[in-house]
Structures are given as C-alpha cells and as structure tokens.
A and B are shown apart, each in its own frame.
Chain A
Amino acid sequence: MSDPHEHRTPVALKGLSADDPHLQPAAPNPQLVEKVIAICFVLGALCVAGFGACYWINAQAWKLGATMGFGLFFLGVGLVAWGKYLMPQGPFVEERHTLANSVADRDAFAAAIVERGGGVVQRRKLLGGLLGGGLGIFGVVAMFPLLRSLGPLPKTTLQHTDWAKGSYVVDQSGRRVQVGDFAIGSIATVFPEGTQDSDRGQAVDQTVLIRVSNEAFTTMKGRESWAPKGYVAYSKVCTHLGCPVGLYEQELQLLVCPCHQSMFNVRNGAIPQFGPAPRPLPQLPLYIDSSGFLRSQSDFHEAVGPGFWEHQ
C-alpha cells in the first residue's frame, strides 16, 4: 500500500559508504549467526518436505501439524534472525511531515463544497426536498420486506406449548408413562405424545417428570391435584436463558440449570432459590387416567422459558 501523497515527502538522495556502521550487521559474530540461520532453514525445509510426505501417505493429524508447524517455525525464526542480526542494523530515520494543509488549501476545499453545492441547493430547495424525501421513503420501505421476509411473526407461539388437556406423557423413546413405571427419586424428560421427535417438541414441550416421595413433597396452594402419586412435572426450559434444566439433585430436592446454576426448589413449585432465574419453572398439571396412564390436565398456565416483552 503506497502513500498516495508521496510527492509531499521529499526523498533523501544520500549515500553511505559500505563500511558505515549503520550498514553493519547487528550481530557481533555474523559468521556464527549465519550458520545458525542456515541450520534453521535446513530444518525448516526438511520439516516442510516431511509435511508433504505425511500428507501424501495420509498420516495422522498431529504428524501433519507437527511437520508443518516446526517447518514454518524454523523458516520464520531463520528469516527473523536474518533480518535482525545480519541486515543493516541502522537505526534509520525518516522525517514526519505534518498532515495538515495550509489554511488557504482548507478554505479552497471548503469553498468548493459550500459555495458550489450550497448555491445549487439553495436555488432549488423544492427539488432537494423532494429528492431527499423520496430517498428517505425508499430507505424506510426497503427495510420492511427485507425484515419481514426473514421470518414469521411470533403471534402467540411463544405463549403456548403442545401440552393440552389429556395429552399422554411419553418418555424420550415415545413410551407412555404409567403410574407404576417410576420408582421414587426417578427423573425423566417427557413430552406430549407425538412431539418427542420434533424440533418444537424438543425445544418447547420438553418437561421434566420427577417422582418424589409423598413425605418429601409440599403442594402449593391451588396445585393440590397437579402431582398425583408424587409425580411432579416442570417445564425443562429454564426461565433464565432457556437451557434444559436437567440437573436434579435428589436429596437436596433441587433442579439446577447446568448453564448458569439457577436452583429451583422441586418441593415448592420450582421457586428459584438461588441464581439468576427470576421465575419458577412452570408446573404441568398431571392426572392419572383410569388405565393408569399419566396425562396432562391442560397446557402450562404461563409461557415457558426465558422472559420476553409479551410474557404475561
């Protein structure tokens, strides 16, 4: 990249005699340094050739990397040493000229813009305004289709999950959960039947199902029927940033978010008792049907996952 204003930098036409100290190598013993550099270059060349050989025979990654790495390293060290120890040691100096131009130059530049441009615009204010307005409208309008085509509008999709009245609770393999299936202290990730393999099911509907012993469980007011036979279900989507809250500590009765360590009290409606999460994990109301299958009474009563503006 050359200096575009080089004409303002006068070039010094000056000679130095060959024995000038500025032109001597910095190394006190250049012969030795030359040998060392030669060894570096030979090693580098050998390694780089080795890299070619390794590539040819399809050797393991570390052999490729080692040969290439050492090759480049030795070539580089040799080249730096050449420049540092054997080339003219200097120091050399260059003048630094002020970048600013004379006041007259500046005025001429400003005048060119202000007087020519200003004159034109002032005489044709209407045209200028119309052009500006037109371009402005285009600028705003151009944003609309661009932004609008990128994705659908959220509508109410963030507020609901696929859990509905009577959804069968199934595990990750799609098996319906029956009342006797879980021993006390068990945990599983469950989904409303049919969504366990879909992206939305995985991301939105995922729910942790825990079977707590009756004596360890306190039901919150209004949720007395939500956890039949000790089966309690909470949304697995953390209310902080949406990580799956899959970390259950059985003796502490805590659900912990593996990302930022929010701790939710399983006994007490998953109220956060430590960490950055602001809201409890929504609880899924469950019931056991006449055949002994676990099913949901309804959807979650609030939006699952992290907070957003429209979160009720």
Chain B
Amino acid sequence: MTSTVLKRCFALSLLSLFCAGPAIALVGSAQASTKTTPYQTTRANSGTPNSTHVTKNSSGVIISYGNSSITYRAPSAALATLGQALYQENCASCHGTEANGVPASGVSGAFPDLVGLGPATITFWINSGRMPAANPRSVEAVRRIPRLDNGQALAIAAWIDTLAPGYPLVPYPHLKNANVSDGAALFALNCASCHTIEGDGDALAYGTSSPSLRHVPAIQVAEAIRTGPGNMPRFTGNLSDAQVNDVVKFVTTAIQHPQNIGGFGLGGLGPVAEGFVGLALGVGVLALVGFWVGERD
C-alpha cells in the first residue's frame, strides 16, 4: 500500500515538473464547457473520483484515483499538443474540429459529441480499432487492428480532456487482487446476456452485434464496462471497482483461455455446433460404416 502511494507521489511530482505549465493553460481554457454529472456515479469506488486515493496535480486537477482494485489515471497532459494534431488529422472530419460532433460544412449526419466524455471512452474507441471508423456510415463500428497506437490514443484523450474534464479516467485493473469466481457470477448476471457465457458475442437487434471478448485486453474490458460504448450499457453504481476487477479477471482468464479439458471447444457455439458434430461426425460416420458393413443391392 505504501509503495503505491509512494509511486503515485513520485509520478505526481514528475508530472507537475514536466507538464504543469501547459496543463494549467489548457484546463483553464476549458472550464466554461464542463458537463454535468449524470454521466458519473456518486457511489464510492465505482469509476468516478469518489474513491479512496484521489491524486491531484499542483493546479488541483485530478490526475488519478482508485483503490487496490483499479487505478484510474489521466493521460499525461503534456501529450495534449500532440493529441490535438493527431485529432485534427484523424478524427476532425467527422467529430468536428472542436470535437463537439459538428463536422466541417459539407459533411452531413450526426456524429457523437466527444467533449466531456472522459479519457477512458476515447482510448477505448481508438485502442479497440473502432476509431477512426472503417465506415462511418455503418450501423456500428467493429473491432479491428488499431490505426493509432496506445500513446497516440492517450494523446488524443489528453487533448479532448482539456476541452472539458470528464470521467472515468483510463482504468488500470490490478488483476492480482481480483477474485475470478466472483467475476464469473457477475459476468453471468450482467454480461452473458449479450456476449454469451463463452464470451463469443453474437448478432443482436437490427443489425447490431455484441463483439467477441476473446482477444480484448484487460484495460479495454474495464473501459467498456465503465463507459458503455455504443449500444452497450454502462455499469456504474451496481459494480464496485473491486467487482469490475473481478469481471476483468474472469474475462482475461476463463473466457480468453478456457479450460477445454474435454477436447476441442467447438467454437463456443454451444448446442448448435454440438448438434452438427453429433449428426455429421456421429450419425454420419456411423452411417458410412454401416454402408460398408451392409450390401448395396
């Protein structure tokens, strides 16, 4: 415990040394458009700064908070300048130069307003490869190889955060402290109804779909739970940071590395795949053997 506090103090001092100047300037400019709280929960240890260890920089901006389960950290404000350039290059054509969802004239359609969404939302969409979108007109963006790396994503998040601070910050789960069994129970109650109990995802209403969880890194799982990207709902008050950490642990262990002690896992499609195997490999092969055993005329 003390070591993490020490580390945070160290990080804090480093940050204040290197980026206090630009941070103050940028944050100051964004005070006017601060959004109200319905996007956040007031419950302690549930994703917003209502937690035990809140760290602020010298100008009073929260740069990290959390607990022994998840630490939420703001991207370094020093990246904001780089982030602005990256944003204008990669995102502004749809989300607008002010990140308010109003694109430059000539581009019609509704695009999400990014101001005040918080860094976790921004980094999730970029790091999961959904943004920049392959096809901005599609029903929903799908996971693909990210076009920007994590550092660039953090930079863009840092710049957008300067327009108006938002929460949650980027969650860093401490999986060592998680209880995979509690995670399994919470997953079955809250997540499996869309992602399936094997985490494979499937087609949902009106052309939407729930993505597979097989290759999602821990941070993105936590980000998705807390921010509710796209059609996914947010999980805020009913899941504490410890519980989110449990779910992340379950997803990154039991879902992503299932214990298939019974042979090949049959793609997690469940009884449909089992039915095809039973009929084709079971009845089918046996009928072929029967074809050999018997006569043809």
Give chain A's interface residues, CB within 8 Å of chain B: 60-62, 65, 80, 84, 171-173, 175, 177-178, 180-190, 210-211, 213, 230, 244, 246-252, 254, 256, 258, 261, 263, 274
Contacts and interface: CB of A to CB of B under 8 A. Distances in A.
Contacts of A65: 263
Contact of A181 (B39, B41, B230): B41
9 contacts: A80-B292, A173-B238, A180-B37, A180-B42, A182-B238, A186-B236, A186-B237, A247-B193, A247-B204
Nearest to A183: B236
Contacts of B237: 171, 177-178, 181-183, 186, 188
A181 B233 CA distance: 15
Contacts of A246: 189-190, 193-194
A244 B193 contact: yes
Closest 10 CB pairs of A and B: A181-B237, A180-B42, A246-B193, A188-B238, A171-B238, A187-B233, A249-B231, A183-B236, A181-B43, A184-B38
Interface string B207-237: 0100000000000000000001011111111
B262 A181 contact: no
Given A61-B261, A186-B235, A189-B189, A181 B206 contact: no
Given A172-B186, A246-B190, A249-B205, A186 B233 contact: yes
B233 A252 contact: no
Interface residues of B, number: 33
A184 B189 CA distance: 20
A184 B42 contact: no
A251 B236 contact: no
Nearest to B231: A249
Contacts of A181: 41-43, 46, 236-238
Interface string B168-202: 00000000000000000010011001100000000
A250 B236 contact: no
Contacts of B39: 183-184
